[in-house]
Chain A
Amino acid sequence: MGQFILNRILSGIIVIFGISVFSFLLIHFIPGDPVKIMLGQNATPEAIKQLNENLGLDKPLLVQYTTYITNVLQGDFGTSLKTGRPVITEILDRFPETVKLAAAGIFIAIVIGITLGIIAARFKSSFIDSGVMMLATLGVSIPSFWLAILLIMVFSVKFTWFPIAEGTGLRDLVLPAVTIGVLASTMISRLTRNGMVETLSNDFIRTARAKGLEERIILFRHALRNVLIPVVTLIGLQMAALLGGTVIIEQVFNWPGLGTLAIGAISSRDFPLIQGTVLFMGVVYVMINILIDVIYGIIDPRIDLSAKEAR
């Protein structure tokens, strides 16, 4: 177990190192003079020289990277060109809002996804089943931002139940969270349904039925438990992906999270901030992944964590 966790952390560190190189190189991939692009048309030569020195762009790449990574390890992600505040402060200000949104969204996704999955499996091959699966395909086909707009048009404009893009209170949270939840539920419902259908065809279910157990008990006690492990993994992965993937939804609802921060940074070509958010999102994603793998191993004793071939 300890060995497994250590291995996962080590490979995680390698990936994080890679992400740091990627985010560092971002600025060097820019065609033309990055400093001129960042400062815009009207930049004075002094300002350009100043920023070049500040960013250390005149030094060799390796030196630049070493400085960059040393600073990052000390929590210094640079300074936002636009606000003049430290990048890490900007990120940490916004991060809790994204976590809030992603958590609420995932909660809704779990409720909708597992319920629909169980219903579809219970009525396998009926019109209910194909209806739910059709909904799941629709869910991966609908643009998130359009669903968001539709919800706003119905629930904010027509019924005025929820405010539009005002603050970050509970009432403001509902629509963006529902948008995320509905979309994230599609994969959960698919996986739950397929898992349930497979489990329900097992011998022990037939035995349970033969014993005359209630269908409700068979569904929830016997079948669902077996399905939960892959579903929980999927949920964890979606949570991790959502922390960076709420970008578009945040933009529609004007939600002050990492997504709007990143888009704002890109629009104003604030490269230190872009680098910082990319690196931060990557690191969070890797850490959650490691956590999922470890939890996965703990809740499912069938997985031999020490086995190398398993990965």
Chain B
Amino acid sequence: MANISKTLESLEMQTTLVKKQPSSLKLNFLKEIGSNKRARYSLFFLLLVILIGVFAPLLAPHDPEKPYYEALLHGPSKEHLLGTDSIGRDLLSRLLYGIRATLTAASIAVAITFTIGTFIGLISAYIGGIIDNILMRIMDVLLALPTIVLALAIVAILGPSLANAMIAVGFASIPGFARITRGAALTIKSSGFVEASRSIGSSHSWILLRQFLPNIGGVLLVYTTLFIGVAILDTAALSFIGLGAQPPTPEWGTMLAEGKNYIYQAWWLATFPGLAITSVVFSVNFLGDALRDMFDPKSMGR
């Protein structure tokens, strides 16, 4: 299968990315991020969001699950800065607590994608031959289904819950990630030093962990970052259609689904959770783009 869409972008970057010196990845990495304005700003914003999520109990003005029956569907006011929902819960507090669900879901989903995707990609590229063929055929089959459909199918098996939604989103992104890893790893394989290592008796696992991984680190970092954005969007989407986080859990997708029922009376309910998702995903993607420029000078300024 020609999965042109998935490879369009990655193709050109793999070739240049991979050839960068491994040492520049480790030592100058933080320095490079620090010197890049876009990366710095987006990282700062994301760290801030994470901190707010961690300290939500201290920062939230109200209990996110406590209904104020005297304040149903109240608009933004001094008491409730972003208004209240249909059973009088404070929207701002729910939003702050929602960071936890959103970021946990995204990190677990991406952890699944990264671990299994990298493993399959590396094994496929390194061993090659029939193993490579079988693994990539399976990936092709899964890539033939849109990610969200694949995630839906997995949720259908596991049943709707936030935990299952993150597992589904994580697994659904594996085929794409495995293909990217394989593509990057193949260019390492064809360079001479792997063969040289083998000839002096290095073990397979040493080569994979010490030679492949660090060298494709740049590609993996860029794509992992971009996949975080996708994971946040997809888990929120699953929650939105009722197949992810279940009420009364404060989760942004679920909150939007609730807000959708009150668009006539309470615009704030369907506005602020969306704004929250968009700003977080936007800064993740912004960071991803900045990283891509840093690790792929060829695409810079294009």
Distance of A145 from chain B, by nearest CB (Å): 5
**Which residues of A sit under 8 angstroms from B267, Cβ to Cβ?**
153
**B residues 257-280 in Cβ contact with A at 8 Å:** 259-260, 263-264, 267, 270-271, 273-274, 277-278
Contact pattern, A 179-215, Cβ under 8 Å of B = 1, otherwise 0? 0000000000001001001100000000000000000
Is residue B142 contacting chain A, with contact meaning CB distance below 8 A?
yes
Q: Is residue B2 contacting chain A, with contact meaning CB distance below 8 A?
A: yes
Which of B44-52, B75-83, B201-209, B236-244 is the interface stretch? B236-244
User: Is B222 in the interface zone, CB < 8 Å from A?
Assistant: no
**Are A18 and B145 in contact, CB atoms less than 8 angstroms apart?**
no
* Chain B proximity of A50: nearest CB distance (Å): 22
Whether A141 sits at the interface, judged by CB under 8 Å, is yes
Q: Mark A1-36, 1 if CB is under 8 A from B, else 0.
A: 000000000011011001101110010011100000
Quick check: is A244 within 8 A (CB to CB) of the other chain?
yes
Please indicate the chain B residues that have their CB under 8 angstroms from the CB of A21 in the complex: 141
Distance between B282 CB and nearest chain A CB, rounded to angstroms: 4
Closest residue of chain A to B141, judged by CB? A18
User: Of all chain B residues, which has the CB nearest A250?
Assistant: B241
User: For residue A152, which residues in chain B have a CB less than 8 angstroms away from its CB?
Assistant: 263
A274 touches B285 (CB 8 A): no
B5 touches A237 (CB 8 A): yes
A19, B282: Cβ atoms under 8 Å? no
Query: A274–B289 contact, CB under 8 A?
Result: no
Task: From B8, B146, B233, B289, name the one whose CB has the most chain A CB atoms within 10 angstroms.
Answer: B146
Q: Are B236 and A143 in contact (CB under 8 A)?
A: yes
Residue of A nearest to B275 (CB): A146
A15 and B141 in contact, given A143-B233, A149-B259, A293-B2 (Cβ under 8 angstroms):
yes
Q: A137-B286, A157-B263, A233-B4 are in contact. Are A15 and B274 (CB under 8 A)?
A: no
Nearest-Cβ distance from residue A4 to partner chain B, whole angstroms: 11
Say yes or no: A149 contacts B270, CB within 8 Å: yes
List of B residues within 8 angstroms of A18 by Cβ: 137-138, 140-141, 144
Q: Say whether A52 faces chain B, with CB atoms less than 8 Å apart.
A: no
B residues less than 8 Å from A56 (CB atoms): none
- Does A51 count as interface, using CB distance less than 8 angstroms? no
Q: Are A244 and B146 in contact (CB under 8 A)?
A: yes
**Chain A residues within an 8 Å CB radius of B236:** 143
Partner of B1, one of A12, A29, A30: A12
Please determine whether B241 and A251 come into contact, CB atoms closer than 8 angstroms: yes
Question: Is B135 engaged at the interface, CB distance under 8 Å to the other chain?
Answer: no
CB distance from B124 to the nearest CB of A (A): 16
Q: Does A295 contact B (CB under 8 A)?
A: no
Taken together as a complex, chains A and B put the C-alpha atoms of A157 and B271 apart, in Å, by 14
Question: Once the chains bind, are B152 and A281 in contact (CB under 8 Å)?
Answer: no
A230/B277 in contact, CB under 8 A: no
Within residues 247 to 285 of chain A, which ones have a CB less than 8 A from any CB in chain B? 247-248, 251-252, 262-263, 265-267, 269, 271, 274, 278, 281-282, 285
Closest Cβ of chain B to A287, distance in Å, is 10
A150 CB within 8 Å of chain B:
yes
Least CB distance, B287 to chain A, in whole angstroms: 11
Other A-B pairs, 4, CB within 8 Å; known A141-B233, A149-B260, A281-B146: A19-B141, A31-B158, A150-B270, A252-B260
Binding site for B on A (CB under 8 A): 11-12, 14-15, 18-19, 21-23, 26, 29-31, 125, 137-138, 140-146, 149-150, 152-153, 157, 191, 194, 197-198, 230, 233-234, 237-238, 241, 244-245, 247-248, 251-252, 262-263, 265-267, 269, 271, 274, 278, 281-282, 285-286, 289, 292-293, 311
List the 4 closest pairs (A to B, CB-CB), nearest first. A18-B141, A146-B274, A141-B282, A244-B146
